[in-house]
Amino acid sequence: METRAGDPGAFAHFDLNRVDSPAFVVDAARLRANLSVLADIRDRAGIKILAALKAFSMWHVAPIIGEYLDGVCTSGLWEARLAAEHYTGEVATYCAAYTAEDLPEILRLSDHVIFNTPGQHARFATEIKAACESGNQFDIGIRINPLHAEGEVPRYDPCAPYSRLGCPVDQLTPDSLEGVSGLHFHSLCEQDFEPLERTWAAVKPHLAPYFNKLKWINFGGGHHVTRADYQREDLISFLRVVKAETGCEIYLEPGEAVALDAGILVGTVLDTLHNGMPLAVTDISATCHMPDVIEAPYRPAMLGELPIDEYEDAEGDAPVRLGGPSCLAGDVIGDYRMGVPCEPGARFAFLDQAHYSMVKTTTFNGVPLPSIWLWDSETDALECVKRFSWEDFRNRLS
Ligand SMILES: Cc1ncc(COP(=O)(O)O)c(C=O)c1O
């Protein structure tokens, strides 16, 4: 998979020695810039936008997010608790399957509770009735599968064949929408406007009979709206039309777009060796710190890297294969021509690491977690938000 992000922005001028290694560094100014793009779309289209916590839940910056957006979307009880403790605005919770233990608290903490199937909604009728009787204010949504695949990679495509995510839209019936106020679909991943437009064209005929019964329709995430070349004006015109023709409140719940290009992961070369090509072991592990590098897979862009295709077989200038300190042979990040000599102690940074990296880290092999820093490229203020200790590692185990 090829990522279309990787703009260094103000990080081009950031001294990597100012922070620990490894460390995530988030630029508050870039975050605000992304959020103002989203707020502008929200205001001009007359819709609501929620930030997806699954992508970026650095709750230290929750007040910044709250200044711009309408709330957050969460993926279950723990993110809903995070929303309640730290974030402001509406909370929309969707989980592929709830448990009877978690649901009462989710119903208490959320404004919109979205079920994956009408069957699950019906099975929890008792819990829902009890929550209403105790005065909880929420409405119910159903996630649909538009049955219209736009994804590049099946693993990231909720409309791929046999997907468990959402009720196939052709199975919706008036009965299945009894007690339901909203419909939700999420089927895009880092995509432009046109895939959204085509998806809506595919689902609209199925949903039109229900428009007058619905309060809201949520178009999920995957909209790469804060990328400079995204077709924002087309999106705004489209959302206005959809809102008028459906009579519903329209929601978007982007995650990646909130934190796009707003963070880097700083690392250090620990050792070098040669085995058919130059190799380096670093304190950044693909498997522990950037698992999407292996899972997607993709190659993260490096700050200040030199193009590989201009490589000439000059001694000392060959691409170096960077890998992590873990025992996993496949803990490989990629091949790079670093902008600095690749030797022990050299600092480097991978770009666009604020989203889907910080939330996915693990301590496999006892590899330390990167500390988390907040920088403001407008004021140059730099703050260490969190350092993780050996005790954090031990306390997750037993
Ligand atoms: C239901 C739902 N909403 C929102 C998102 C956020 O998507 P993105 O971060 O690609 O914008 C996701 C991502 O997987 C999702 O599954």
Could you report the per-residue pLDDT of 163-218, keeping only the tens digit for each? 999 999 999 999 999 999 999 999 999 999 999 999 999 999 999 999 999 999 99
For the Cβ of 52 lying below 6 angstroms from any atom of ligand 1, the answer is yes
Residues 148 and 202 sit within 8 Å (Cβ to Cβ): yes
317 falls in which pLDDT band (50, 70, 90)? confident
User: Given this model, what pLDDT does residue 150 score?
Assistant: 94
Ligand 1: distance of its center to the CA of 9 in Å?
Answer: 24
For the Cβ of 189 lying below 6 angstroms from any atom of ligand 1, the answer is yes
User: Given this model, what pLDDT does residue 7 score?
Assistant: 87
| Cβ-Cβ contacts under 8 Å for 90 (sequence gap 6 or more) | 48, 50, 70, 71, 72, 111, 112
For the Cβ of 256 lying below 6 angstroms from any atom of ligand 1, the answer is yes
User: Given this model, what pLDDT does residue 378 score?
Assistant: 98
| Phi and psi torsions of 118, nearest 5° | -60, -30
Poorest-pLDDT segment among 38-47, 226-235, 312-321: 312-321
For the Cβ of 186 lying below 6 angstroms from any atom of ligand 1, the answer is yes
User: Given this model, what pLDDT does residue 152 score?
Assistant: 82
| Cβ-Cβ contacts under 8 Å for 394 (sequence gap 6 or more) | none
| Cβ-Cβ contacts under 8 Å for 310 (sequence gap 6 or more) | none
At position 292, the amino acid (one-letter code) is D
For the Cβ of 70 lying below 6 angstroms from any atom of ligand 1, the answer is no
For the Cβ of 167 lying below 6 angstroms from any atom of ligand 1, the answer is no
C-alpha closest to that of 334 among 288, 373, 283, 299: 299
- Ligand 1 test: best mutation among 37, 50, 54, 79, most atoms within 8 Å of CB? 54
Kindly give the number of the ligand 1 atom that is closest to the alpha carbon of 189.
10
> What value does the mean pLDDT of the chain take?
96
256-312 pLDDT, tens per residue? Answer: 999 999 999 999 999 999 999 999 999 999 999 999 999 999 999 999 999 886 555
Is the pLDDT at 315 greater than 60? The verdict is no
- Ligand 1 test: best mutation among 152, 186, 360, most atoms within 8 Å of CB? 186
User: Given this model, what pLDDT does residue 380 score?
Assistant: 98
For the Cβ of 253 lying below 6 angstroms from any atom of ligand 1, the answer is yes
pTM for the model stands at 0.96
